[in-house]
Structure 1
């Protein structure tokens, strides 16, 4: 796990899975792939296999050793719901998130359909916990918007959208059942530009829907130069406590949680 993450909307990262494959335009300039491939071929390096998919079972219990509560981005260097990740391994990740409920876990995927499938097969009491936030990436209309409908059908205590990199005007976005919206532009030497009008449209829609809005960055070749202010201010809104909302609307578990013993 990495503490003190540079990602503005989280505090730390946890990577029990490494590596991924590209599936949509948002993946084109993947920062995680660029980083991982620098180390390919180096023996004993965590990314000596580059960005090839790799399960890291020795990382499963890491959050248990972090006593201070923090927001944790799960698999910042991968996608938990790739086809190559067995459902039992995914279950072990959820088990850890249940065993260390003092943290908040931000699970983000582009494989919305598999997330829905897996989370529907796992015990509801394991998945639908207030500390576990499930989200999808939304970069454009063709690939990104359909993921939102799938997310709505996924069992979760809290659902969020990471609209980054925002590659075009999304038009009207259905935010029913969505608890948090993050928006950001692409960064890096080949960054595709994001227009202010696209961002303002999403801000207005979030306001109309009563959904907290977090503006991550303008991005660009030198993202620090462009900053992250919008309309002369920063937007660092977070969703209302899922714990409080779960207490107000308790979820009836269909099955008991089976907590595996993790190495």
Structure 2
């Protein structure tokens, strides 16, 4: 995606995959007139090993100072997250998540739990292998989804159902985003596969005839 955006001449991606800090963007949340939900660094990772702690602290300062907005941060660098978390101020409007696409990276969950983040979530997407023995204590939200695109790896209903049952058991809000491709969907008649459907998602998003879009309860600041 970064390569495509670079070829399109999008200024923020002119360096392609090279690390590029954007301090000029940090003041934008102060200018927004209405509350927003922001996916921080949706095309990168705030806790990448090349991002200086001082820059991360500046990002957190903006989030701390704009409690009207909700910020969702997702990382695969859970060990660095845990290491740096004590140097950051965690206000209620910062939701911290880790990617858990298969069981061999489930150690990221414990790393997340060992941070002071007020809202903690798991992005089990794209789910490319089963994630059993799922640890959900002190987890506030779980998102599950299948991989999309021409080389997408299939998702199995059994894997999704297991996560859903564990969430119900622990009373953790469960958000099923998508199957990824129509052929992965266990229900050939899922109406959410159709683009005109108000709940459309890639490959559909029904699980046993229901759409799950559960969200965590917001913590007031």
TM-score (norm 1): 0.74
Q: What does residue 216 of structure 1 align with?
A: 177
**Alpha-carbon separation, structure 1, partners of 2:171 and 2:94:** 21
**Structure 1 residues 204 and 57: CA distance shift in structure 2, 3 A:** same
* CA displacement 1:76-128 (0-9 Å, x = unmatched): 01100011100010001000101111011101100011111111123xxx22x
**Alpha-carbon separation, structure 1, partners of 2:28 and 2:156:** 39
**Alpha-carbon separation, structure 1, partners of 2:52 and 2:206:** 41
* Cα displacement (A) at 1:197: 0.7
Structure 1 portions without partners, runs of 5+: 1-34, 247-263
| Stretches (4+) displaced over 3 A | 39-44, 221-225
**Structure 1 residues 197 and 44: CA distance shift in structure 2, 3 A:** closer
Is 1:108 matched up with 2:54?
Answer: no
**Structure 1 residues 113 and 79: CA distance shift in structure 2, 3 A:** same
Q: What does residue 240 of structure 1 align with?
A: 217
Q: What does residue 53 of structure 1 align with?
A: 19
1:180 and 1:212 in contact (8 A); partners too: yes
The number of aligned residues is 205
Q: What does residue 163 of structure 1 align with?
A: 124
* Cα displacement (A) at 1:46: 2.2
* CA displacement 1:49-69 (0-9 Å, x = unmatched): 112210001011111111211
Q: What does residue 40 of structure 1 align with?
A: 6
183-192 or 234-243, which moves further after superposition? 234-243
Structure 2 portions without partners, runs of 5+: 184-192, 194-200
Q: What does residue 137 of structure 1 align with?
A: 99
**Alpha-carbon separation, structure 2, partners of 1:217 and 1:37:** 25
CA RMSD of aligned residues (A): 1.8
* CA displacement 1:111-153 (0-9 Å, x = unmatched): 011111111123xxx22x110111100001112x100011110
* Cα displacement (A) at 1:225: 5.6
TM-score (norm 2): 0.87
